[in-house]
Amino acid sequence: MRKSNQASSPPLQLAPDHVTQAQNALLQWYAREQRDLPWRATSDPYAILVSEVMLQQTQVDRVLPKYQQFLSAFPTLVDLAAAPTADVISVWVPLGYNRRAISLQSIARQVITEYGGRIPDTIDELLKLKGIGRYTAGAIACFAYRKHVATVDTNIRRVLHRIFLGLEYPEPKVNDSQMLSLAEQVLPEGQAYDWNQALMDLGATICTSNNPECLDCPLQASCQAYRDMSQYSLFPSGAVLRQLRKVAEKKTTYQAQPFTSTNRYFRGRIVDLLRSLPADERISLTMLGPKIKPEFSVDDVVWLQKIVDGLVRDGLLDYNEDGARLP
């Protein structure tokens, strides 16, 4: 099978019959059960780019309405590139991680400047776009241009690991480079589009992180993790997996920081507040602080300045001596 020049790890030793069995079972399941998603009804690279950026760290059900709204507001790459950044952010809300909207617009502008408005069709060229990583490059090459390439997101990683390597606990058995190599190794010739989409569907609906529906999985006979869990229970399930994970993790004593006290939370509060201001109106740090943090004091000014500086670097706001505003 063809391989990209992005993976340099030696191939894992997989039984050919195991690979073929898994391929056939998953593709047959996908033919019956594939999700009806709007970005699967198009081969427009721009629309697929928008969907892939939106789907980063955001669930499908939240992306679906926003995807259509975003494409209605900015139907082409040229429209997105020419739009005021504040408008792009406004349409993006409330997906969160607003930096993705800035990145998407930057990609559009780079494509127009450097590629004549045509999104590249090879992984090597796609990776030259600022903000495009290996997964998104592979997804665009495969889903928009039907290239025979593998790509690995969170769902694909989990499904491939469980099928071919077994449980990911106490720790994954391969690193990122090895996982990409594995994904390329098991990519069925001529069926990259359906295979990659099928892996994502299985990971999103059945082979989930915390509650896999093992007894309903079409890959029971092919799945090494299913066999691993069968050593502990007659009925492999999410409950078995969660118990094994707890044992592996040994209940770390680390106490997670509440989200409402994280810098990410306050970044969002700042952007939301600035969106409520009249156009071009600025607000000073001393006025901004108490509005996003009731207990704000003079000791917090340095902390707030660092958050504002980070938002400026990410292109999410404009700041000068008169205060902050949206770009």
Tens-digit pLDDT profile for residues 61-106: 999 999 999 999 999 999 999 999 999 999 999 888 888 999 999 9
Cis bond upstream, residue 170 (ω within 30) = yes
> What whole-number distance in Å separates Cα of residue 179 and Cα of residue 159?
11
A 10 A CB-CB count for 42 gives 14
Mean pLDDT of 4-11: 54
User: Per the structure block, which two tokens stand in for 232?
Assistant: 């502990």
Topology annotation, domain 259-325: Arc Repressor Mutant, subunit A (1.10.10)
For the annotated catalytic residues, the residue numbers are 52
Among 175, 163, 139, 165, which Cα is nearest to 214's? Answer: 163
105 sits in the region (left: phi over 0; alpha: psi -120 to 50; else beta) called: alpha
Burial class (CB in 10 A: 0-12, 13-18, 19+), 308: buried
- CA atoms within 13 Å, Cβ hemisphere of 103: 18
The correct CATH number of 154-249 out of 3.30.420.340, 1.10.1670.10, 1.20.1270.10, 1.10.1200.10 is 1.10.1670.10
Q: What residues form DSSP beta bridges with 283? A: 324
* Mean pLDDT rounded to a whole number for the chain: 89
Mean pLDDT of 36-49: 97
Predicted confidence band of residue 185 (pLDDT cuts 50, 70, 90) = very high
- List where CATH 1.10.340.30 sits in the chain: 44-143
Contact 102, 126 (CB under 8 A): no
- List where CATH 1.10.1670.10 sits in the chain: 154-249
Topology annotation, domain 44-143: Endonuclease III; domain 1 (1.10.340)
| SS percent in the chain: helix, strand, coil, step 5 | 60, 0, 40
Contact 39, 48 (CB under 8 A): yes
Q: What residues form DSSP beta bridges with 319? A: 324
DSSP for 148-213, please give it.
Answer: ------HHHHHHHIIIII----SS-SS-HHHHHHHHHHTPPTT-HHHHHHHHHHHHHHTS-SS---
324 three-class SS: strand
- pTM, 2 dp: 0.75
Q: Could you report the per-residue pLDDT of 241-283, keeping only the tens digit for each?
A: 888 777 776 644 444 567 777 888 899 989 988 888 887 788 8
CA triple 211-96-92, angle to 5 deg: 125
Q: pLDDT value at position 8?
A: 52
CA-CA distances (angstroms) from residue 276 to 90, 271, 301?
Answer: 11, 9, 22
110 three-class SS: helix
Residue 127 has pLDDT above 60, yes or no: yes
Contact 308, 324 (CB under 8 A): yes
Among 154, 89, 87, 117, which Cα is nearest to 316's? Answer: 89
